Amino acid sequence: PGQSSDPSLTAWAVLGLSAAGREPARSPTGYLDGSSARTANDLALRILALDALGRNTDALTDRLEGMRGPRGRIGTLVNSTIWGVIALRATGRPAGTSAWYLLRAQRKSGGWSWHPQGAPDSNDTAAAVQALRAAGVPARSRAIRRGLGYLRSLQRRDGGFALGPGRAADAQSTAWAVQAYVAAGKPPPPRAFRYLAELRQADGSYRYSKRYAATPVWVTSQVLPALAREPFPLG
């Protein structure tokens, strides 16, 4: 409250509300249409939000496909490829070579990282599982099973999931893990939902963790799809 509008937060809020079966009090389509999307990540997120609002995204999706390199990477990151695949599948377009890029990007631990040389983390791993499932990779495939195994290694005693080894659990990582389980056709751990319930505040927002209450709009927007048991792309 009190801060200026942000296109990415607006898109996340749209996705969270859409997963929960709700609509924004005022349509943000004009705001999203009028905001520039410079990176593949920005573009993919914009496509997903506008698609959830029922807008035609053909021109934006053409731009996103134009950012795909010869080896299948969309943009410059593993993360941008993950979100590129999710956005393409949301709009009915094939993942193409980008699915193979993601399969090759999986690390020995079973996880995925933000960028090609980065360390794996729960958020990118969970998003990659959702992207690959959306691209048609079977739930019983080795890649999906290894991805879930990596996520399981990051569940803490309090039921929440951590971003990476040695870290405490947080709401966003827990929400992502729940969505990955659902995308893979597996029941999410019940303790994960209990952990999220402990972070809910009186105003309806969710804390980032038991220790911090940062970025409430972003955190709450990402928790909502998990509570609705809706993986990306939203059905």
Tell me the per-residue pLDDT of 125-138, one tens digit each, with 9 for 90 and over.
Answer: 999 999 999 999 99
Tell me the per-residue pLDDT of 150-187, one tens digit each, with 9 for 90 and over.
Answer: 999 999 999 999 999 999 999 999 999 999 999 999 99
Residue-wise DSSP of 154-219: TB-TTS-EESSTT--EEHHHHHHHHHHHHHTT-PPPHHHHHHHHHTB-TTS-B-SSSS----HHHH
Query: Amino acid identity of 36?
Result: S
CA distance 170 to 22: 25
Q: Which one-letter DSSP state was computed for residue 54?
A: T
CA distance 6 to 214: 16
| pTM confidence score | 0.98
- Residue 235: is its pLDDT beyond 90? no
Cβ atoms 100, 106 nearer than 8 A: no
What percent of the chain lies above the pLDDT cut of 90? Answer: 98
Counting Cα atoms < 13 Å in the Cβ hemisphere of 174 gives 33
CA distance 91 to 89: 5
What is the number of other CB atoms lying within 10 angstroms of the CB of residue 158? Answer: 15
Predicted local confidence at residue 154, as pLDDT: 98
Predicted local confidence at residue 145, as pLDDT: 98
From residue 172, give the alpha-carbon distance in Å to each of 121, 123, 146, 181, 216: 12, 8, 21, 14, 11
- 107-116 burial code (b ≥16 CB/10 A, e <16): eebbbbbbee
Mean pLDDT of the chain: 97
What percent of the chain lies above the pLDDT cut of 70? Answer: 100
CA distance 183 to 39: 26
Q: 35 versus 73: which is more confidently predicted?
A: 73
Predicted local confidence at residue 1, as pLDDT: 81
Residue 218: φ, ψ to 5°: -65, -50
Predicted local confidence at residue 161, as pLDDT: 98
Cβ atoms 47, 83 nearer than 8 A: no
Mean pLDDT across 74-98 = 98
Structural tokens at position 199: 């972070």
- Residue 103: is its pLDDT beyond 90? yes
- Residue 13: is its pLDDT beyond 90? yes
Q: At 24, is the pLDDT very low, low, confident or very high (cuts 50, 70, 90)?
A: very high
Q: End-to-end distance of the chain based on CA atoms, in angstroms?
A: 30
Tell me the per-residue pLDDT of 140-149, one tens digit each, with 9 for 90 and over.
Answer: 999 999 999 9
